[in-house]
Structure 1
Amino acid sequence: MPSDPMTMNKSIRVSIKDAEKLRIELAESGRLDPHRKIKLIDTEQRLLEIPVTEDIEGFETFLQEDAEFYNKWQSLEDILRKGISAEELNKLPSGWHIIGEIIVITIDPAIDHLKQMIAEALLRMYPSCNTVVRDLGISGQFRLPKRELLIGNNTETINKEHGCLFKLDVTKVMFSKGNLHEKKLMSKIGTHETIVDMFAGIGYFTIPMAVHAKPEKIVAIEINPESYGYLKENIFLNKVENIVEARNGDCAEVTPKGIADRVLMGYVNTTHHYLDSGIAALKPEGGIIHYHETTPESMVFSRPIERIQDAALKAEKKVEILDCRKIKKYSPGVWHVVVDARIS
C-alpha cells in the first residue's frame, strides 16, 4: 500500500458490468485501496474508477487528482494542525507503512513527546488498522527490527500482497514494501523449474513464485528461527506445501548442490560470501542466479558483476550478464541492486 494516501492515489478504470467481480478479486488480493471510494467517471460509457494500491496487470494506471476518502481526515497535518506548533508540524512524518492491520512509522526524535498523539491520529485515518508501532531501525545478522509499540497489543498480522498472504510479527521480522516490483518480476519466472531461495525470510520471493509461477520445486532456506517459523506458516497459508521445501540453517551449510535451474540470493551486505554456494547449487549444465547486493554509487553494477565473475571463474564456469537493476536507495550514496547472470 502507498505510504502516504495523498501521494500515490492510483486507480484503474473498468466498465460497470465488470466492476464488482474485479473489486472482489482486488480486495481478496489486498490490492484494493479501502480508504478511497469507487467513483463513476463516465455515465455514457458506464465507466467506474477503482482505487488500487499498485499497478494491475492488464489495466492502465491513472492517478486520481480528486480522490474521495471514506474518512474526512486526509493527512496528519489536518488532524494535528491546531494542537501543535508550526515547527512541530514541519517535523511530522510524511509517510508510513501499513502491514496488514498494523501501521509502522518513523518519528523524528525531536517530536518524541508527540508520538502517542501521532499514533492516535493515524488510527483515525485508518480505521481498519488496530495497532501502531514506531520503527527504530534494524540490527544484526538477522536484520531484526527495533520497534516500539505505541497503540494496540497485537503485533502479529497477515499482510496481503500481489495475491499472496504473509503472516508475520512486525516486532520480530522485517517486511519490506520497497521491492514490490522485484517480487512481481520473480513471480513471473521459474515455471516447471527447480529453484533455490538462499535467504528466504518469511517467503518474500518464495511465496509469490510458488503461487504464480508454479515451479516444480523451491528449496527455501532461512537461518533466523523466527523468520523460518513464519516461512513454514506462509507455505501452508498459501497452499504451496507441495512446491516448497523449507530448510532452517546457514546457507553456507544447507544449500543443496547441483539441483537448481535458478538461484535467488535476495540478501544484502554479505551476500557475496555465499556466491560459491549459490553457483554450486546450480545444475551441472548451469542456470541463472539473481544476485542482490548493496553497492556504492561509484561501483553500482561493476562490483557485483565482478564478484559474480570471480566466483564463476573459481568454479571454472562461464558468465553471461542478463540484466542489472536498481531496487532502491539503501542509504546515502549506496544502492540495493540486483544482477541476473547465467552461469554455464
Structure 2
Amino acid sequence: MYRIIRVSPEKGEEIRKKAIAGKFLDTTRKIRKTQDESGTCLEIPVTEAAIGKIGDFPVTEQENPEFSKKPVSLKEYIKDFLSEAKLANVPSGWQILGDIIIVSIPETLEDKKIRVADTLLSMYPKCRSVVRDFGIEGQFRQPIRELLLGSGTETIHKEHGCFFKQDVTKVMYSKGNLNERKRMSRLGEGEVIVDMFAGIGYFSIPMAVHSRPKKITGIEINPESFAYLKENIRLNKAEDIFVPICGDCSKVAPEGTADRVLMGYVGTTHHYLEPAIKALKKKGGILHYHETVPEKLAKIRPQERIIEATDALGKKVEILEARRIKKYSPGVLHMVVDARIFE
C-alpha cells in the first residue's frame, strides 16, 4: 500500500520538510500535482510511519504511484536552483557519520549553502543534520565545522560491529582509515595493548570488540575525545578489558607492559617513538607507527625514524611491513609501518 499526504501547493514545502525531519518521506516516489474537488493539490509520498504525525493532513492511499528515478549526483538534484557557473562548484562527495552529513562547500556557494544542505537532507531522509566542513586545526586535530541544518551534531556511527559516539564538530573521524580499523580488529587476541593516541577509540575499540585482548590501555590528551572514548568503551561493552587514561602519552604511558603498541596519530608522531618503544615488554613486541610523509619518502623516512629511535634505546628492530593508508594531501601519503622490536 502506497501512502500520501494531500496538501495545497502553498503547504507543500512545509509538509515535505516535516516529512524529512520525521523520517517518513518516501523518496522512491515523486511529489505529484493533482486535481480534486477542492482544486489543485500536491501528493506528498510518505511511509506508514507518517500516520498520526501530521494532525491536520490525514494519510491516505495513493493510486497509480509515480516512482522517481533517483539522480546519481547532488548536481542533478539541485540543477534547477543554480546557475551553470555555480553548478560547476557543487561538491561531488560528502561523508555520512551516523545520521549526520558532513560536506565541504566552497565560498562561491556561500549564498546557496542552505539550499545545498536542504537538498542533501532530501537525498538522505534518514539523516537529520548537515554540517559544513572547513578542515582541521591544532595539536588535537579538531575539526572546524558549522551546523547548517538539523537538530544537533552528536551521533552514534556504527561500523564493522562497533559503535562510535561522537560530536562531529569536536572530534575527527576519517572514513579513509576503515581498512586499517578492520585490520586492527583482527590483531591482539590475548595480548596487552597500549594505544598511545586513542582518540574516541578509532583503532582500539575494534580490537576490544573482535579480538578481545587481555588488556587495553587507551591514552588520550584531548578531554573532549577522552569523554567519548569512555562512552564508547561502555557502548561496546569493553569495560572489563579497556582502561582509559587522560593525559600526555609521553608522560603517562606504562613502561614494559605491552605486547603491542598503536601509534595511530599523524603530524608529530615520531616525537613519541621512544616512549612507545619503552611501553613494550622488555623482551619486545609489535609497533604500529603512523606518519604523514611526502610520497617520494614514503618507503624511507618512517622506517628510518623507527630505526633511529630503536638504536637510541639499545634495541633491535625488524620492519615487517609498510602500507599506504590513503592520500593525505597533494603529494603526501598517510603511511603505517609495522615493526617488531626486540633486544
Q: TM-score range by the shorter chain?
A: 0.7 to 0.9
Equivalents in 2 of 1:310, 1:192: separation in Å? 30
1:214 Cα deviation from its structure 2 partner: 0.6
Equivalents in 2 of 1:168, 1:223: separation in Å? 16
Q: Note if contact 1:195-1:218 (Cα within 8 Å) is conserved in structure 2.
A: yes
Equivalent position of 1:186 in the other structure = 184
Aligned partner of 1:162 among 141, 160, 163 = 160
SS of 2:205's partner is helix
Equivalent position of 1:10 in the other structure = none
Give yes or no for the alignment of 1:88 onto 2:89: no
Equivalent position of 1:288 in the other structure = 286
1:78 Cα deviation from its structure 2 partner: 1.9
Equivalent position of 1:228 in the other structure = 226
Note the alpha carbon deviations across 1:50-93, whole angstroms, 9 max, x for none.
xxxxxxxxxxxxxxxxxxx9983442122211121112111110
Equivalents in 2 of 1:71, 1:339: separation in Å? 46
1:109 Cα deviation from its structure 2 partner: 1.1
Q: Note if contact 1:295-1:301 (Cα within 8 Å) is conserved in structure 2.
A: no
Instruction: State the AA in 1 paired with 2:271.
Output: H
Equivalent position of 1:212 in the other structure = 210
Instruction: State the AA in 1 paired with 2:266.
Output: V
Question: TM-score, with normalisation over the residues of structure 1?
Answer: 0.79
SS of 1:179's partner is helix
Instruction: State the AA in 2 paired with 1:76.
Output: L
Instruction: State the AA in 1 paired with 2:124.
Output: Y
Equivalent position of 1:9 in the other structure = none
Equivalents in 2 of 1:186, 1:134: separation in Å? 30
SS of 1:82's partner is helix
Q: Note if contact 1:73-1:125 (Cα within 8 Å) is conserved in structure 2.
A: no
Instruction: State the AA in 1 paired with 2:74.
Output: L
Instruction: State the AA in 1 paired with 2:176.
Output: G
Q: Note if contact 1:74-1:125 (Cα within 8 Å) is conserved in structure 2.
A: no
1:121 Cα deviation from its structure 2 partner: 0.3
SS of 1:342's partner is strand
Q: Note if contact 1:263-1:290 (Cα within 8 Å) is conserved in structure 2.
A: yes
1:297 Cα deviation from its structure 2 partner: 1.2
1:331 Cα deviation from its structure 2 partner: 1.2
Instruction: State the AA in 2 paired with 1:85.
Output: S
Instruction: State the AA in 2 paired with 1:247.
Output: I
Give yes or no for the alignment of 1:128 onto 2:116: no
Q: Note if contact 1:260-1:281 (Cα within 8 Å) is conserved in structure 2.
A: yes
1:190 Cα deviation from its structure 2 partner: 0.4
Q: Residues 322 and 170 (structure 1 numbering): CA distance in 2 closer, same or farther, change over 3 Å?
A: same
Aligned partner of 1:342 among 331, 336, 340 = 340
Q: Residues 121 and 305 (structure 1 numbering): CA distance in 2 closer, same or farther, change over 3 Å?
A: same
Equivalent position of 2:36 in the other structure = none
Equivalent position of 2:109 in the other structure = 111
SS of 1:301's partner is coil
Instruction: State the AA in 2 paired with 1:194.
Output: V
Equivalents in 2 of 1:190, 1:275: separation in Å? 20
Structure 2 spans left out of the alignment, 5+ residues: 1-26, 29-66
Which structure would you say has the larger Rg?
A: 2
Instruction: State the AA in 1 paired with 2:143.
Output: P
1:291 Cα deviation from its structure 2 partner: 0.1
Equivalents in 2 of 1:276, 1:72: separation in Å? 54
Q: Which runs of 4+ in 1 moved over 2 A?
A: 69-75
Equivalent position of 1:202 in the other structure = 200
Q: Note if contact 1:71-1:125 (Cα within 8 Å) is conserved in structure 2.
A: no
Q: Residues 269 and 70 (structure 1 numbering): CA distance in 2 closer, same or farther, change over 3 Å?
A: farther
Equivalent position of 1:328 in the other structure = 326
Equivalents in 2 of 1:109, 1:330: separation in Å? 22
Equivalent position of 1:249 in the other structure = 247
Q: Note if contact 1:73-1:124 (Cα within 8 Å) is conserved in structure 2.
A: no
Instruction: State the AA in 2 paired with 1:195.
Output: I
Question: TM-score, with normalisation over the residues of structure 2?
Answer: 0.79
1:305 Cα deviation from its structure 2 partner: 0.4
SS of 1:338's partner is strand
Aligned partner of 2:144 among 126, 143, 146 = 146
Equivalents in 1 of 2:219, 2:184: separation in Å? 17
Equivalents in 1 of 2:299, 2:265: separation in Å? 16
Instruction: State the AA in 1 paired with 2:306.
Output: I
Equivalent position of 2:40 in the other structure = none
Structure 1 spans left out of the alignment, 5+ residues: 1-34, 37-68
Name the count of aligned residue pairs. Answer: 278
Q: Note if contact 1:261-1:288 (Cα within 8 Å) is conserved in structure 2.
A: yes
Aligned partner of 1:306 among 290, 304, 310 = 304
Equivalents in 1 of 2:77, 2:332: separation in Å? 36
